[in-house]
Amino acid sequence: MTAARKKPFCARRTCWSGFSATSSWRTENRREGLCMREIKPIPLSHIDEAASIEAACLGSAWSAEQLADSVGRPDFCYIGAFEDGILTAVCSYYLVAGEVQIVNLAVLPAYRRRGAGRALLNAVRADARTRGCGRILLEYEKGNRAAEALYFSEGFRTVGERRGFYHGTDAVLADLEI
């Protein structure tokens, strides 16, 4: 095993399936034309910004301090979509017992429907495959049609519900076998 593989996901240069931490690719943006999007680990210098995105999108989110404490953990990954250098979306997940548990996926409202959420999901899937994980698990608020459409278009399936999980609203549990 190489030294790069021994480091936590967010601390090593090679992040997932051939993409490096500084990899970027051009993507077509229907509203704005071409933009440069990078999917990469979120550096500590962007933790406050990332916490703000989670709070704006999810209401109850982790604080910047909680995120900073988690970033150094070997089982925790925190990646972001940067469009032309601006952090527009975040995704946090844990690696547990051969599975990936997505904790949060949030895209700033002004940047939704441009592919950032899908790009983050694809990066998580690639990292999971690289690590030999067999399944990705997540949950989302029942009635969140945008989340449902994204997850099911990527092959997730409903496996259960948690009653009253989101301040009285049910959570839908979904998974993806990979």
The pLDDT of residue 135 is above 80: yes
The pLDDT of residue 176 is above 80: yes
Note the pLDDT tens digit of each residue in 36-54. 889 999 988 989 889 889 8
Q: 73, exposed or middle or buried, with CB in 10 Å at 0-12, 13-18, 19+?
A: middle
How would you classify the pairing of strands 135-141 and 99-107? parallel
The correct answer on CATH 3.50.50.60 for the domain covering 3-133 is no
The pLDDT of residue 74 is above 50: yes
**Banded model confidence at residue 31, pLDDT cuts 50, 70, 90:** low
Where do the structural domains in the chain lie, given as residue ranges? 3-133, 134-178
Packing angle, helices 47-58 and 64-71, rounded to 10: 120
Note the pLDDT tens digit of each residue in 50-67. 988 988 888 767 777 888
Note the pLDDT tens digit of each residue in 142-154. 999 999 999 999 9
Q: Annotate the chain with DSSP letters as a single string.
A: --HHHHS-GGGSSEEETTEETT--EEEEETTTEEEEEEEEEPPGGGHHHHHHHHHHHHSS---HHHHHHHHT-TTEEEEEEEETTEEEEEEEEEEETTEEEEEEEEE-GGGTTSSHHHHHHHHHHHHHHHTT--EEEEEEETT-HHHHHHHHHTT-EEEEEEEEEETTEEEEEEEEE-
| Amino acid sitting at position 66 | Q
pTM value is 0.79
- Higher local confidence (pLDDT), 141 or 64: 141
| Amino acid sitting at position 10 | C
The pLDDT of residue 140 is above 70: yes
Q: Each residue of 132-144: b (16+ CB within 10 Å) or e?
A: ebeebbbbbbbee
CA 69 to chain centre: 17
